[in-house]
A and B are shown apart, each in its own frame.
Chain A
Amino acid sequence: MFQTIEELVHIANRQQISISEVMIRTEMETTGRSREEIFSKMAGNLDVMEQAVQRGINEDIKSRSGLSGGDARLLQHYLDSGRSLSGSVLLDAVSKAMATNEVNAAMGIICATPTAGSAGVVPGVLFGLRQKLNPSRKQMVDFLFTAGAFGFVVANNASISGAAGGCQAEVGSATGMAAAAAVELAGGTPEQSAHAMAIALGNMLGLICDPVAGLVEVPCVKRNAIGASSAIVAADMALAGIKSLIPCDEVIEAMYRVGRMMPVALRETALGGLADTKTGRALKKKIFGSDAHASVTEGQ
């Protein structure tokens, strides 16, 4: 059992195994379940992620409030045009992250990674890298175990709840997890995975949770989108040999402490940030009417 990223990397190096393998063995030990059972459950989660991505980029998704839906498809069309500035790998990942969050906002089925509001980043990065790296199904499932191992440390030592720690705890954590897993998928070392996570999460410290009208839509969908792009960039930086001067565990601790300092208005209560702008307030009024607690159906 590992409690820090340092221990996780140490176990992987000492036993000459990947981070994903450390996570699988730890899961077998703590739950008493077999390797096959654990692997097949994760493979099932991968299927759910793939279906959500496919729905988001192929179907006409619209949330009940009307605040989100359709942007993943817009990006896919733009990608097809060949005019993209940031390149096809990055933009495909961004589009697939958005696809997941749009399906989530429309009350579709998704796999929380680590939460529903931040569910787009990890599958976005994984399916975005698929064409470039051509991974086997097993490697794709292993990607999720690696992402899970890094997220596990964040969840236990800090927080993955926007209400407790702001968006840095949700999309920030997801971005770090995806960056670390992308490094392993691309053939990097456990240390490089840890640096990628530290770079990615360090970049998101202080990010607030400010959902317009309290809905997991604006800015959540776009924060996942750009989180996916950050994850790939952070992975590339770590693979190039760039190190985070602040060790990953200390970045996680800093994230936790920043979350504790964050005022409650910036932690999922929809009382600050983008939620408390002129347009944000107007959208809330439009959706819920003058009584902010009227239901969506009554408001329409």
Chain B
Amino acid sequence: MKYRSVFDIIGPVMVGPSSSHTAGAAKIGRMARKLLGKIPEHATVTFYGSFAETYKGHGTDVAIVAGLLDFDESNTQLPQSLEIAEKKGMDVSFIVDKETQVEAPNTARVHLSAENTELELVGVSIGGGKIELTEVNGFSISLTGSNPALLVLHYDKYGAVAEVAGLIAKYELNISYMEVSRQEKGRLALMVIQTDEEINEGLAAEIAGLPNILNVAVLS
């Protein structure tokens, strides 16, 4: 089931005007920000499909940048995000791509960099403020949002997966799905973990504190 909570239907509480083009976009931006782990210096956002046709009218650009500032979709500063980002020295550019055929109508690609780190993800807004992620740092993933999920960027070292799984067990959460991808042996890797129960921020913070872990994001 795509939607599992009544608050996916009566909610989210958000800044208007569009749950798919504003709230969903803010969530995509915030997932990217969480996985980068810090405020980006440069951000390039590419809009596809309906995002490309109507992003200006819905404040999709404003919302995605609000997410990059770590604002959630109900933050009253959301409408001022472009000005705030500029003051913080974030360099943002937008690309409107009406040529590339995408499977879902509301798709965005976000590329971020800060100091020596980079992050790229592809997010899809599926309606009512819910999002899916299809790609992180070149890894194809399938995060449909049907279950709560943890994304963990980590170094490809022995024990990293076991330690994360151990903490999840400590919080008495059941893992329903897990995949681990890496670019090359010993370098960066990504764990995608879906659970049956809601994931609280305490668990995410504890995982982030483990050795070999770079950044953690929760998709609820």
The answer to whether A and B belong to the same complex is yes
Residues in chain A within 8 A of chain B (CB atoms): 3, 23, 26-27, 30-33, 38, 41-42, 44-45, 48, 63, 65, 103-117, 119, 122, 144-145, 147-149, 151-152, 155-156, 159-164, 169, 177, 211, 213-217, 267-271, 288, 293-296
Least distance between B147 CB and chain A CB atoms (Å)? 10
Stretch of B7-15, B29-37, B135-143, B211-219 lying at the A interface: B7-15
Q: Is the CB of B76 within 8 A of A115?
A: no
Q: Is the CB of A112 within 8 A of B197?
A: no
Contact partner of A116 among B9, B16, B54, B79, CB < 8 A? Answer: B16
Q: Is the CB of B2 within 8 A of A116?
A: no
**Interface size of B in residues (CB-CB distance below 8 Å):** 43
A63 surroundings in chain B (CB, below 8 A): 17
24 A-B residue pairs with CB within 8 Å: A27-B5, A31-B197, A33-B198, A104-B16, A105-B16, A109-B76, A111-B10, A113-B10, A114-B19, A115-B128, A116-B16, A116-B18, A147-B9, A147-B10, A152-B8, A155-B127, A160-B127, A164-B126, A211-B54, A214-B54, A216-B57, A216-B58, A268-B54, A288-B56
| Cα-based distance from A117 to B12 in the complex (angstroms) | 13
Q: Is the CB of B3 within 8 A of A155?
A: yes
A147 surroundings in chain B (CB, below 8 A): 9-10
Least distance between A125 CB and chain B CB atoms (Å)? 13
Q: Is the CB of B6 within 8 A of A107?
A: no
With an 8 A cutoff between CB atoms, is B163 at the interface? no
A3 surroundings in chain B (CB, below 8 A): 1
Q: Is the CB of A214 within 8 A of B9?
A: no
Q: Is the CB of A110 within 8 A of B16?
A: yes
| Cα-based distance from A110 to B5 in the complex (angstroms) | 19
Starting from the known contacts A31-B198, A42-B7, A152-B6, 6 additional A-B residue pairs (CB-CB under 8 Å) come to A110-B13, A115-B18, A164-B126, A213-B57, A215-B17, A271-B53
Least distance between B143 CB and chain A CB atoms (Å)? 18
| Cα-based distance from A122 to B56 in the complex (angstroms) | 27
Contact partner of B4 among A30, A294, A295, CB < 8 A? Answer: A30
Q: Which residue of B lies closest to A177 (CB)?
A: B9
Most buried by B among A31, A42, A211: A31
B96 surroundings in chain A (CB, below 8 A): 293
Most buried by B among A41, A113, A114: A114
With an 8 A cutoff between CB atoms, is B74 at the interface? yes
Contact partner of B19 among A42, A65, A108, A115, CB < 8 A? Answer: A115
Q: A109-B15, A116-B18, A161-B127 are in contact. Are A151 and B197 (CB under 8 A)?
A: no
Q: Is the CB of B105 within 8 A of A164?
A: yes
| Cα-based distance from A260 to B127 in the complex (angstroms) | 15
